[in-house]
Amino acid sequence: MKTKCILLGGIIIFLAVLILHPQQEVVISIKEGMPAIPLALPDFIVLSSSPESKAVAQELHQIISDDLKYSQVFQLLPKSYYSYIRPLNPEEIFFKDWESIQANILFVGEVPESEGKNFLFEGKIYDVKAGRLIFGKRYQSEKVLLRLVAHKMADEIMKIYGERELFTSKIVFISNRDGNDELYMMDYDGHNQTRVTFNKKQDYMPAWSADRKKIAYTSYRNNKAGLYILNPFEGEITEVVSKGTNFAPTFSPDGKKLAFCSTLEEGNPEIYVATSEGKKIKRLTFNKAIDTAPSWSPTSREIAFTSDRGGTPQIYIMDAEGSNIRRISFGGSYHDAPAWSPAGGRIAYVSRVDQIFDIYALNLRTEQVVKLTESNARNETPSWSPGGRHLVFSSNITGTIQLYTIDYDGSNLRRLTTKGENKLPDWSR
């Protein structure tokens, strides 16, 4: 069954994106634990006398700077270092100057004279040691899309180093800020928070598809916990299943499958799988225990999930067909909400100790468990960033339930939401 919902306003369209100085594609893999890459980001050059162009340049610079600092891939050199070298001349770059202040990468940004309501931005990335241009790109866009342009440019830098797009990723979540639990989405840094669903019934547990075009979620729109798939950019909703209670959907990374929990057949919560369109539903688990919260491995060959088949909620892994089930969490009486890192090596989950809920990460190779949150609060529902270097989660650390991000090692806590109560985030891949 298909229905129509309100289209998201402001569909993003770039007026022009032009490649400058085409180069052979360069991809340098960055592994976890490697030192951050020293990057020089001098003030952008404004080729206009207008105050508006100067303001655009400053805002673009600030956003790109914030993005790259957050990445854990780059280390931005202090501005004070630039006073020791000659002023930047984009027509003749003295690479030895930049090498002398230990820069490996130089980012040069220029903002030419704006054209009407649009602005132009050109970014070039140089390998300082090799003394050559790696990549260049020019954007022409409306000023309302300035943040998106900056995020896209920062993502281009990430891709050169084999990293997934992070800064244009989206987080979908549930908020009651308008009086009812509805789906919202926002940028990775909490900006541009936008309502996605509009109804008088509760919506829960949203999950992005691998291509970022669909969101699976639970809704009580027909007074039952049905499972639906929403295309937020075209306004189309597809009902997957309404019989029984259905929740905790998750799309496989290869884009082919949708796993979820349902009481569809015998009234007991079990794990099911369907095609990514919600067709050909197949049951994977068969027991009297509660099996829920599925999470796909990066290869789409395995599924982590929560089960109390051993007496208490614990984390298990099974093959994608439902076979080879084995327990992976030990040393506690309550472990839930597994989230498999896109990098593959870790599973984050929630553990309750003395009525305190905190987020932990299990290293699947070493079996080492690291506690990521440390507060007298309820920290729940972790979801990984596209590259697996950060997590978003919900917490009532300030009294109300809000969304936060942390790095994979538990550092760099950042609050993303403030209005109403916000929960159940899912970070697009």
Predicted pLDDT of residue 35: 78
Instruction: From 16, 49, 56, 61, select the one nearest 144 (Cα to Cα).
Output: 56
> Per-block average pLDDT, block size 10, for the chain (429 residues)?
41 36 34 77 93 94 98 95 92 95 97 84 97 95 95 96 95 97 98 94 96 97 94 92 96 98 95 97 96 98 97 97 96 93 96 92 94 93 97 97 96 97 97
- DSSP β-ladder status, 105-112 and 45-47: parallel
Report the pLDDT value the prediction gives residue 34, as an integer from 0 to 100.
62
Provide the pairing of β-strand 291-296 with 282-283: unpaired
Per-residue confidence (pLDDT) for residue 33, from 0 to 100: 53
Determine contact, residues 214/249, Cβ cutoff 8 Å.
no
Q: Strand order of the sheet with strand 203-208?
A: 2-4, 236-241, 226-231, 215-219, 203-208
Domains of the chain: 11-160 (3.40.50.10070), 170-427 (2.120.10.30)
